[in-house]
Amino acid sequence: MSEQTKKVALITGANKGIGLETARQLGKLGVTVLLGARDLAKGEAAVLELKEDGVSARAVKLNVDSPADYTVVAKMIEKEFGLLDILINNAGVLIDNRKANETSTTSAELLRKTFDTNFFAVVGLTQALLPLLRKSEAGRIVNLSSILGSNTLHATPGSPVYDAKTFAYDASKAALNSFSIHLAHELKDTKIKVNSAHPGWVKTEMGGEGAMLEIEEGAQTSVELALLPEDGPTGGYFHLGKSLPW
C-alpha cells in the first residue's frame, strides 16, 4: 500500500489503553494513524512504542475538551493528507462512584463534566472533521460507547448491567448512542458509516482489576467498525460483531 493510498485514521485519547491498542492494530494493517493526546509528550512516547512494532503513527495535541484544538487538528489533516478516512472517538471519562447507585445525589457538576467529554466533545470534534471525512471514499466514524449506555439492558432485571448504575457515565453513553443513530441517518446516502462500539470490560485504568478482557480483544470492535466494507452496517451498536440493544 503506497503512501498515497493508505487510509488515515484519527483516534482520540490514543496515548494509552484501548486507544493505543486500536492504533497498533490499525497501523499493522497499513493505516496511517494520528494519535490524539491531551499531553503531546505522552503522545510522542506512544508513537515511539508503536514504531517498535512497525506502525506508522504521528502524535497530535488534541484535548477533546478544548474546541480550539479541533480547528488546529482539522487544518493539519487537510494540509498533510487532504482528507480523513477514519475517526475513532475513543477518549472518555468515568468519574462516578462505582460502588453504589447514587443517582439521586449525582451533582450537576459531575454530570456536566462527564457529558462535556463523553458527549459534547464527540459531537463537536466530529462536526469539525466531517468535511474531511466526506472526502474519503469510505469514511468511518466509530464512537466508543459502552454496554452501560444500553437503556434496554439497564431496565431489564437480570441483565449483565442491571446492578451497575453509574448514572452520569451511563447517561452520557446513552446520549452518545443517540448521536450515532442520528448522524448515521443523516449520512445514510453518503459513503460514511457511523456506529457505536462497546469494547467490552477491558483491563485498563478505567476497566479496573476485575475486568475480563485483555486489551487486544478490547480494541477489536473499534478496528472492525473502522474498516467496514461498503455493504457494512451503519447506525448500529456492536460488540465483537454482535448487535447490542439500545
Q: Does residue 171 contact residue 150 with C-beta atoms inside 8 Å? A: no
d(CA 39, CA 49): 16
Yes or no: say if 141 and 192 are a contact pair by the CB < 8 Å rule: yes
CA 133, CA 206: separation in Å to the nearest integer?
A: 29
CA of 231: how far to CAs of 18, 87, 166, 234, 246, in Å? 26, 19, 36, 9, 22
Establish whether 70 is a catalytic residue.
no
For residues 215 and 202, the answer to whether their CB atoms sit within 8 Å is yes
Catalytic residues: 169
